[in-house]
Amino acid sequence: MTPLLDVRDLRVEIPGYGTAKVNAAMQLGGAELAIRTVRQLTGLPINHVVIVDFSQFENLINKLGGIDITVPERIVSKFDCPYSTNARCARWDGWRFAKGQQHMDGHRALIYSRVRKNKLDPANTDFSRAENQQRVLQAVTGKLTSFWTLVKLPFIGDDLLAPVATDLSTHSFISLGWTKFRSSSGRTLHCRLGGELSGGYVVPVEENRNVIAMVTGDSAPQPPIPGSGVSGPGCVTGSRTLGVR
């Protein structure tokens, strides 16, 4: 089982800068500071880093032949009108996504990953957008580690990895992908550090220690506490190629 740890919007201590959202570490000091911050927060070793530029991710998805994503609910979201006239944009309902599994090319997957508000579900927030992005990333990871991609990777790996910045070589990426492909369960353990919403932050709670134990395999996976909503800490399992939260 492949563990993933989500720490987005958590209020943390950033070395040398004080308290801020965890994702501010990347803006303040790049990957090095982001790694130090997450390592200090979780105590987990960080061996490699991958920085994804979603504006270039569209090309990667197209080169993979698109991805399959299971959308948990119908979406209608109006942003970035694709038409050139205001009159036509005024009549346009917005981007639409049906519920269920669907194939997306790079452009459609990028639009899906940017959806923040859903006219059909007012409860959607930035957390919902992060969940959409996780589904896209997991679908891409699943496609990258499919058998035929792994066969072709020695020849097209540099081209596929162009939209991402990483310290993984193509050879290392192949090894990592092969390990993931051979995973007996083919499942992903998606864990989230969470807490209470306050002033635009997610304030950490004691239960986050249990989440770290789940990631390291020292505790059985437990779902978020009932009633904790979108910011509750916990873990869920899902398929390798589809997002889980």
Look at the domain 1-49+167-175+184-245 and name its fold. Nucleotidyltransferase; domain 5 (3.30.420)
Q: Token pair 């959806």 is at which residue?
A: 115
Task: Judge: domain 53-162, CATH 3.30.565.10.
Answer: no
Q: Token pair 């130090």 is at which residue?
A: 36
Beta bridge partners of 13: 19
How do the pLDDT tens digits run along the chain, 245 residues long? Answer: 566 677 767 899 999 999 999 989 999 999 999 999 999 999 998 888 877 776 677 888 888 889 999 999 999 999 999 999 999 999 999 999 999 999 999 999 999 999 988 999 987 777 678 788 888 887 887 777 676 666 665 555 566 666 667 776 666 766 666 666 565 445 667 788 888 888 778 888 888 988 898 888 888 877 777 666 667 788 876 533 322 23
Q: Which two tokens stand for residue 212?
A: 């770290």
- pTM: predicted TM-score of the whole model, two decimal places: 0.67
- Cα dihedral angle (157, 158, 159, 162), rounded to 10 degrees? 120
Q: Is 201 helix (H, G, I), strand (E, B) or coil?
A: strand
Q: Is 245 helix (H, G, I), strand (E, B) or coil?
A: coil
**pLDDT at residue number 15:** 95
Q: Token pair 């939260």 is at which residue?
A: 245
Q: E-assigned strands of 82-186?
A: 95-97, 100-104, 164-166
Q: 164-166 and 50-52: which strand pairing?
A: antiparallel
Domain boundaries of the chain, sorted by first residue: 1-49+167-175+184-245, 53-162
Q: E-assigned strands of the chain?
A: 2-6, 11-14, 18-21, 50-52, 67-71, 75-77, 95-97, 100-104, 164-166, 187-192, 195-198, 201-204, 234-239
92 in Cβ contact with 78 (< 8 Å)? yes
Closest CA to 189 of 221, 212, 218: 221
CA distance 15 to 113: 30
10 CB contacts (<8 Å, ≥6 apart)?
A: 21, 22, 41, 193, 194, 195, 201, 202, 204
